[in-house]
Structure 1
Amino acid sequence: MRDPQGEPSDLIRSVSRALRVLESVGASPKGLTVKQIARRCELTVATTYHLVRTLAYEGYVARREDGTYVVGMEVSDRFRELTAALRGPASVTDVLRKAALDTGYSHYLARFISGRVVLCAVAEGPRSPYLEDLVPGFDDGAHATALGKSLLATLTSEQRSRYLRDWGMRPFTQATIVTPDALETDLAAGERRAMQMEIGQFRPGVACASVLAMADRDPDRRVVVACALPAAEMMTSAKAVRARLTATARAVAGALIEELPGPNGGTTPPEPPAARR
């Protein structure tokens, strides 16, 4: 989502137009002709033709035999690079994989990036239901997932209100919290138990729990760790889940701190749950 008021004075229009073309093609899996792209991007056909040819030369779009254009392989290469950057050091991935292996639950790493909740890494566990929507880059269900709640809980109430106004509170299930007041109550309960959680709010029959791994004055350096499990197991083993998640969060924090410059990089790991109560 672009902020018109935040447009830089030195914006390069041709680059901006090329990105709009790429976005338009990417949103159309059946492919688009140059004329269709021009209409969607509100550009002249001549301008669109030059932009499309340039993107095709660079590999970001590909022309099919019927004359339509689809996304090119260079986009997938950039996505792989993005997910690798989001994951952080290999030691963090190792921690998540070990936690998934030890518990059987899928584990997730999330953080703020430019003010948005972003899922950065996933380690699948055999005992967790597969959640195809929880992939790196996911950011539209913060109010319905434990990892999103953990990050939202680090914001002020005013910041949370602004976030929810910008990104909405989509009802994923009948149990999804869809009002700011109800979310505030839910977050407060999570703070008291030293673990944010949801049961059936993102997907029926699935529960998710999350704890803060790293706190920081800079929101973009706050990191949370979460796990997903069958809802029935959460109902009977929440304390055990919290204990394991807290240990995993400490291990993640240790791995991240090793990568930061200076003493702790100015970052403060969270207190253990017992100390915060």
Structure 2
Amino acid sequence: MQTVLANPGRTTKQLRRLLTEGGDVMSDQTLRTHLDVLTEGGWLIRDVFRQYNPGPTVAGGEPLVRGFQTVLDHLRKAPHGLTPTELADELNINLYSAKSAIGIGIEFNVITETAAGSGRFRLDSDGMLLPVCTASDSEIDAVLAAFVASSGRDAGLFTLSQEEGLVISHVHQDPDGSSRLADTSPKAAHATAGGQAALAWLDEVQRTRYLRTHGMEQYTPKTITSMTELESVLVREPAHIYASAGQYRECCTCLAILVHNGARTDERIALTTSTHIDTPVPDMRILEAHLYRAATALSNLIDGPLRRTDPSPQ
């Protein structure tokens, strides 16, 4: 929005060049999505020459947009939310400007009330549009295939969706042609290492919302079914290997490492594998070493939310 205000009458291609020069790199599809949302809301107008100009909603012009960005930056530092009055006082702006900025954020799903009727508002990172991962599926699959070849175990990527639950992609079967990952329930994040790796790095609001939506079903006697107990295993340490032994399937231990982190729920992406629960400790240490090497390679590849792919095993 700031780029259009500063450079009216530019096409999508011209705007993309200006954004790139300013350090904002995003895919063509993500830029088009942003522009479509802004156009539908009246924030921009696209003329017959496919050039973008400020629309009727931007009554306050550039100062309003700059003020809105300042409000977003401030709300990032207030996870429990602020009232419009608190926001106005802390930023030294008038109450009308604070309320207007909050209204804009609600319209674009990046600001939400902390609880219905509370009058306090917080940043909702899940509403933000972000460029998808620039790595191709073939590049990601090459790393997973190499892991399977060296470790003799299956592999896949787990991420979370507030709407759909646990999402599995890029599943690779073990050398015998089997995988325990592909048919994992969308509601089993709390019972799997990949799900726990992603849950650990959600903020408190996101995690509470996710678990209340999808529940904590008991799959085996070892399944964690309370949020209090789950908190004890959600370790927030970079390169931490999460392990879930017999929590989803009694015969299985799954291991996982977070390979990408970000603000949105679906940006927490974990590499995961499975093995028999009776795997000897020395063999488990070897498997962890293979997993760590593959996770390092994926961390250098994955730079945004994954494109949705066919979860069927390869």
Query: TM-score by structure 2 length?
Result: 0.48
Task: Give the counterpart of 2:149 among 62, 81, 101.
Answer: 101
User: For the residues of structure 2 that align with 1:239 and 1:97, how far apart are their CA atoms?
Assistant: 20
Structure 1, unpaired ranges of 5+: 1-9, 11-84, 261-277
Relative to structure 1, is the Cα distance of residues 244 and 117 closer, same or farther in structure 2, using a 3 angstrom cutoff? same
User: For the residues of structure 1 that align with 2:268 and 2:176, how far apart are their CA atoms?
Assistant: 28
Task: Give the counterpart of 2:211 among 161, 164, 182.
Answer: 164
Using the TM superposition, name which of 220-229 and 247-256 deviates more.
247-256
Task: Give the counterpart of 1:118 among 167, 178, 199.
Answer: 167
Residue 211 of structure 2 is aligned to residue 149 of structure 1: no
Q: CA deviation at 1:222?
A: 2.6
Is the contact made by 2:241 and 2:255 (CA closer than 8 Å) also made in structure 1? Answer: yes
Residue aligned with 1:203, SS: coil
The number of equivalent residue pairs is 171
User: For the residues of structure 1 that align with 2:160 and 2:136, how far apart are their CA atoms?
Assistant: 14
Relative to structure 1, is the Cα distance of residues 143 and 88 closer, same or farther in structure 2, using a 3 angstrom cutoff? farther
Task: Give the counterpart of 2:268 among 213, 219, 222.
Answer: 222
Residue aligned with 2:244, SS: strand
Task: Give the counterpart of 1:197 among 232, 243, 255.
Answer: 243
Percentage identity across paired residues of the two chains: 25
Structure 2, unpaired ranges of 5+: 1-39, 41-132, 305-314
Structure number, greater radius of gyration: 2
Query: TM-score by structure 1 length?
Result: 0.54
Is the contact made by 2:202 and 2:268 (CA closer than 8 Å) also made in structure 1? Answer: no
List per-residue Cα deviations over 1:177-226 (Å, max 9, x = no partner). 111111111223x8498111110111111100000111222332332101
The residue type equivalent to 2:144 in the other structure is L
User: For the residues of structure 2 that align with 1:134 and 1:248, how far apart are their CA atoms?
Assistant: 22
User: For the residues of structure 2 that align with 1:128 and 1:154, how far apart are their CA atoms?
Assistant: 32
- The residue number in structure 2 matching 1:253 is 299
Relative to structure 1, is the Cα distance of residues 186 and 193 closer, same or farther in structure 2, using a 3 angstrom cutoff? farther
User: For the residues of structure 1 that align with 2:207 and 2:174, how far apart are their CA atoms?
Assistant: 31
- The residue number in structure 2 matching 1:56 is none
Is the contact made by 1:208 and 1:227 (CA closer than 8 Å) also made in structure 2? Answer: yes
Choose between structure 1 and 2: higher helix proportion: 1
User: For the residues of structure 2 that align with 1:153 and 1:128, how far apart are their CA atoms?
Assistant: 31
- Across the aligned residues of Structure 1 and Structure 2, the Cα RMSD in angstroms comes to 2.9
